[in-house]
C-alpha cells in the first residue's frame, strides 16, 4: 500500500477538494414571568449559574454572587418583556435597553399612545422620533456599501437605541461622510463620531484545527509554541516552505512558515501575528479539548490519539519508534509508527498521549474507513531544532528536567531512570502514586510535582 503525506490541497476554481500526492431571565428557580404576548419564560435555576461566571461578574462588574444572580434574573425578565412588546408595538417599536444594577427596562416607541401599553408591561416608556425598522434600514444600506467596497478608516457602525440614531465611528469626519455618501443614506439619521478604534479578528491557536497555505492547501495545527516573545505553532514540513503564508481556521490572516524541513525530516513551525493567542489545547472534535501539560515521549505499545482537520479525533497505539519511511517525495527518518488512521488534510496535526504532546502528523497509508498506519514526527526534536518552547497548562514543558532537582529526595520506591508502565504504583515522600502514562522517570520529575504523569492514591 502506498505511503503518502497527509496534506489536503483545495481546487481553487471549484468546490471539490482532492489529495495531491497526499494524505498533504424570568428569574431564579421557582420564578417565572409572562411577557405581554402571554408567553412564559422558563425559570433560570440558581444551580445552572456557573461559579466561574459569578466570579467573573464579581471581578468585572463589582457584584457579589447574590447581586449577580438577581441581575441575571432581572435581565432575563427584561428580555422576555421586550420581546413581547416588540411584537405588540409593531412598526412603532424603537428598541429596548436595560440600565443600572437592577437592570431597569426602557422600551422606546414612536407612538405616544403606546406608552401605557409599555408601562403596563412593567417597563419605562420613552417616545422617540425614529422607529427601529427605519434606523436598521439605514444600517443595512451601510452594510451593503461595505460589502461592495470596505470603507477606509471606518471601523464600526451600529444602531444606538439610547440615542435613537445610527452611529458611524470613523478616524475622521471626512472618512465618515465619504462612507455615508457611498452608501447613499440619509445623514440626518446618522452621527459620525471620531474614533481611534482598530478592531481585529481574534482567535486561538489550538492543536488539530485547520489552517490554509497560500490559499491553495490545508493542513492541521500541531501544537502551540513560542520562540522568545513570538507566538506560533509546530506542524509538518511538507505543508509549506519558509515564507509560505497561512490563514487560520477562520480564514483570517495568520502567519508564515519560519522553518521547514522535508524530506529527511518532516518538521516546521509557523510564526503567527498578534491576532492569534497560543493555547495549551488540542481540539477533541466533540469530545472536549484536551489540555497539553508537557511532552514526555510515550513508549512502544502506549495509547496515542490524533487530532486533525479532516477526520477529527482518532486513537490507536504506538507501534515502533525511530522509523524511516519513504514517500514519493523522499525518505524521512526518526518518525514514530502508529495504528492511528488519518486522511488528507490531517497533516501537521497533534498526536497526544494522555496530556503529553507526542508529535505532528506526517503521513501514512489507508484511511479512517478501512483503517491504516500513520507516522508522526516527534515533537521534542522539532522543538529543539527550531529553539521553540511548547505552550503547556503549567506555562512550561517538562521536556527538560528541572535545573535544580532535589539533592536529598524523600524516601520511597520511585527512582529516576526507571521505566514505568501506566498503572504502576510507587511510593514517594510517604504517599502512594499511580502512573497515568508510560514514561521513563527523569531526575526532578518526582510524582509530587508532575501530576500529568502521577496520581496520588
Q: What is the pLDDT along the chain (457 residues), one digit of tens a residue?
A: 566 777 765 432 232 222 222 333 222 333 333 333 333 444 455 455 667 667 777 877 788 888 888 888 888 888 889 999 999 999 999 999 998 878 899 999 999 999 999 999 999 999 999 999 999 999 999 989 888 887 888 889 889 999 999 999 999 999 999 999 999 998 899 999 998 887 766 689 999 999 999 877 999 999 999 999 999 999 999 999 999 999 999 989 999 999 999 988 999 999 999 999 999 999 999 878 999 999 988 888 888 899 999 999 998 889 898 888 888 888 888 899 999 999 999 999 999 988 899 999 999 988 998 888 899 999 999 999 999 999 998 754 343 333 333 333 466 888 876 778 888 899 988 889 888 766 666 655 678 766 667 788 8
Q: What is the pLDDT of residue 211?
A: 96
Q: What is the pLDDT of residue 325?
A: 86
Whether residue 232 contacts residue 205, with contact meaning beta carbons closer than 8 Å, is answered with: yes
Burial class for 150, CB neighbours closer than 10 Å (0-12, 13-18, 19+): exposed
Q: What is the pLDDT of residue 73?
A: 84
Q: What is the CA radius of gyration of the chain?
A: 29
Whether residue 420 contacts residue 426, with contact meaning beta carbons closer than 8 Å, is answered with: yes
What's the angle, vertex CA 260, arms to CA 257 and CA 266, rounded to 5? 130
Q: Which three cell numbers stand for residue 178?
A: 465619504
Whether residue 105 contacts residue 123, with contact meaning beta carbons closer than 8 Å, is answered with: yes
266 is catalytic: yes
267 forms beta bridges with 261
Of the candidates 131, 260, 309, 347, the residue annotated as catalytic is 347
Please tell me the distance from the alpha carbon of residue 426 to that of residue 266, in angstroms, as a whole number.
Answer: 38
108 forms beta bridges with 126
Task: Report strand pairing: 165-170 vs 190-194.
Answer: parallel
Q: What is the pLDDT of residue 37?
A: 36
In degrees to the nearest 10, what's the CA dihedral of 393, 399, 404, 408? Answer: 100
Q: What is the pLDDT of residue 11?
A: 31
Please tell me the distance from the alpha carbon of residue 374 to that of residue 102, in angstroms, as a whole number.
Answer: 58
Please tell me the distance from the alpha carbon of residue 276 to that of residue 254, in angstroms, as a whole number.
Answer: 7
Of the candidates 70, 130, 266, 355, the residue annotated as catalytic is 266
| Cis amide bond preceding 323, omega within 30 | no
Residue 376 CA, distance from chain mean position: 24
Q: What is the pLDDT of residue 443?
A: 55
238 is catalytic: yes
Please tell me the distance from the alpha carbon of residue 271 to that of residue 392, in angstroms, as a whole number.
Answer: 17
Query: Can you tell me whether residue 206 is helix, strand or coil?
Result: strand
Element at 31 (helix H, strand E): none
Query: Can you tell me whether residue 248 is helix, strand or coil?
Result: coil
pTM above 0.85, yes or no: no
Please state, in angstroms and as integers, the Cα–Cα distance from residue 223 to each residue in 262, 400, 437, following that order. 19, 17, 20
Of the candidates 76, 130, 238, 314, the residue annotated as catalytic is 238
Please state, in angstroms and as integers, the Cα–Cα distance from residue 67 to each residue in 30, 70, 270, following that order. 18, 5, 46
Q: Which three cell numbers stand for residue 25?
A: 431571565
Element at 30 (helix H, strand E): none
Amino acid at each position: 500500500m502506498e505511503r503518502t503525506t497527509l496534506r489536503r490541497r483545495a481546487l481553487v476554481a471549484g468546490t471539490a477538494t482532492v489529495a495531491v500526492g497526499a494524505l498533504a431571565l424570568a428569574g431564579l428557580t421557582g420564578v417565572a414571568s409572562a411577557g405581554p404576548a402571554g408567553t412564559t419564560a422558563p425559570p433560570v435555576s440558581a444551580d445552572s449559574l456557573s461559579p466561574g461566571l459569578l466570579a467573573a461578574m464579581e471581578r468585572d462588574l463589582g457584584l457579589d454572587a447574590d447581586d449577580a444572580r438577581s441581575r441575571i434574573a432581572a435581565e432575563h425578565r427584561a428580555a422576555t418583556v421586550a420581546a413581547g412588546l416588540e411584537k405588540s408595538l409593531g412598526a412603532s417599536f424603537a428598541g429596548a435597553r436595560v440600565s443600572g444594577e437592577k437592570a431597569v427596562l426602557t422600551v422606546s416607541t414612536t407612538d405616544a399612545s403606546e406608552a401605557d401599553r409599555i408601562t403596563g408591561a412593567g417597563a419605562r416608556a420613552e417616545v422617540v422620533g425614529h422607529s427601529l425598522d427605519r434606523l436598521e434600514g439605514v444600517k443595512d444600506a451601510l452594510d451593503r456599501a461595505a460589502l461592495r467596497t470596505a470603507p477606509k478608516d471606518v471601523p464600526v457602525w451600529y444602531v444606538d437605541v439610547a440615542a435613537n440614531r445610527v452611529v458611524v465611528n470613523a478616524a475622521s469626519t471626512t472618512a465618515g461622510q465619504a462612507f455615508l455618501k457611498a452608501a447613499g443614506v440619509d445623514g440626518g439619521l446618522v452621527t459620525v463620531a471620531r474614533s481611534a478604534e482598530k478592531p481585529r479578528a481574534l482567535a486561538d491557536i489550538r492543536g488539530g484545527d485547520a489552517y490554509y497555505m497560500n490559499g491553495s492547501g490545508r493542513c492541521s495545527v500541531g501544537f502551540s509554541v513560542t520562540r522568545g516573545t513570538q507566538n506560533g505553532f509546530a506542524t509538518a514540513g511538507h505543508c509549506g516552505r519558509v515564507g509560505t503564508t497561512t490563514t487560520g481556521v477562520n480564514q483570517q490572516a495568520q502567519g508564515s512558515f519560519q522553518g521547514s524541513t522535508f524530506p529527511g525530516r518532516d518538521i516546521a513551525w509557523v510564526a503567527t501575528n498578534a491576532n492569534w493567542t497560543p493555547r495549551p489545547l488540542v481540539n477533541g472534535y466533540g469530545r472536549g479539548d484536551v489540555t497539553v501539560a508537557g511532552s514526555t515521549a510515550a513508549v512502544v505499545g502506549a495509547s496515542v490519539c490524533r487530532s486533525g482537520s479532516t477526520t477529527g479525533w482518532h486513537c490507536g497505539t504506538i507501534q515502533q519508534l525511530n522509523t524511516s519511511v519513504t514517500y514519493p517525495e523522499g525518505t524521512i527518518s526518526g518518525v514514530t509508527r502508529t495504528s492511528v488512521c488519518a486522511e488528507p488534510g490531517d497533516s501537521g496535526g497533534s498526536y497526544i498521549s494522555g496530556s503529553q504532546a507526542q508529535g505532528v502528523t506526517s503521513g501514512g497509508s489507508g484511511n479512517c474507513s478501512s483503517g491504516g498506519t500513520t507516522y508522526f514526527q516527534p515533537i521534542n526534536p522539532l522543538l529543539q531544532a527550531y529553539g521553540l518552547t511548547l505552550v503547556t497548562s503549567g506555562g512550561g514543558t517538562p521536556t527538560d528536567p528541572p535545573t535544580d532537582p532535589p539533592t536529598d529526595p524523600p524516601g520511597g520506591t520511585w527512582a529516576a531512570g526507571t521505566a514505568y508502565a501506566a498503572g504502576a504504583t510507587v511510593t514517594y515522600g510517604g504517599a502512594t502514586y499511580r502512573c497515568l502514562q508510560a514514561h521513563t522517570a527523569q531526575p526532578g520529575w518526582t510524582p509530587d510535582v508532575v501530576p500529568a504523569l502521577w496520581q496520588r492514591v
